Amino acid sequence: MKLDCSTLSILIVVAALTTSSSPVSAFRTPLALAHPTMAQVAQFAPQAASLFNNMKTPASIIAGAMVPLGLLAPIPLAHPDGKPEHRLEKMMRRSYTAVAVLALLSEFISVIMATVAVNQLTETVVAPAASVWDLLQRDYDLSWSGTNAHFLFGMFSFAYLVAVRSYFNVGGGLLGRGVAGLAGSSLLYMVAVVNRGVASGSGDGLSYGNSIVSLFRHYAGLVLARKRGGFRPLELGAVALGFGSLVAVALAVFRRGDE
């Protein structure tokens, strides 16, 4: 049953991503006009809401698949014959649940940010813009970059979970390294695809940067920029608790021995 849950989770994600209603890119954008006139602007709120919805759906499905893969099914022993695990194997085992929790909650945040943005686009009066990209950058920069950053982090973390579970499912060794390497290869290719999308930008010189690091840096910069107006109590508590928890996880993952 453990293997069935993991396999089912992966199949659900693959099916969902391959049947997406329309291709979505956080990086290739419509032509943005530097100085639009009144005749050049239009109402793009419905298209912007559609983009957020297209991100929200796969993020929700991945979050649902993450539960049985990362939290419900325990990881088998790397060496069923009782041979002690290597330090790297211990680190993989210790990090597994932490990465699963981070990935799951990252997808939750992506869904929440997209949902709130869609509600705002639907319920409020949105000023016309030169393009969808112009609207997103003007009014929803934090929401759009955050939705994509958290979605991608959760997706890449999901690939890491597949690699670790595959390694332990086959008992490690040469076969374990091979199947984990396949997952690692897919992860690297996904990053390469995203990097190419980030670098291509809008086609007229506007982009987040040259790689996925630029997207995360842009999002982090927007979050930190809120400090100028002061963090609200819940935001400050979230940052402090998250930082402390990450430190505790890192210390636990990289410790030596079984203490």
Sequence-separated (6 or more) residues with CB below 8 Å from residue 144: 26, 51, 52, 117, 136, 137
Q: How far apart are CA 106 and CA 154, in angstroms?
A: 6
Q: How far apart are CA 188 and CA 92, in angstroms?
A: 18
Q: At what angle do helices 45-66 and 132-139 cross, to 10 degrees?
A: 70
Q: Can you give the pLDDT at residue 173?
A: 85
Contact status, residue 86 vs residue 53, Cβ threshold 8 Å: no
Print pLDDT tens along the chain (259 aa). 444 555 545 545 544 554 444 434 444 443 333 445 544 677 888 888 998 998 888 899 888 888 888 787 778 776 666 678 888 888 888 889 899 999 999 999 999 999 999 999 999 888 888 888 888 888 888 999 999 999 999 999 999 999 999 898 888 889 989 999 999 999 999 999 988 887 776 555 666 777 888 889 988 888 887 765 666 788 788 888 988 999 998 988 888 655 4
Q: Can you give the pLDDT at residue 118?
A: 93
pTM score: 0.77
Q: Can you give the pLDDT at residue 104?
A: 94
Q: Radius of gyration over alpha carbons of the chain, in Å?
A: 21
Residue 199 tokens read as: 């670098």
Please classify residue 14 by burial: count the beta carbons closer than 10 Å to its beta carbon, then call 0-12 exposed, 13-18 middle and 19+ buried: exposed
Q: How far apart are CA 103 and CA 152, in angstroms?
A: 9
Q: Can you give the pLDDT at residue 10?
A: 52
Q: Chain-centre distance of CA 42, in angstroms?
A: 31
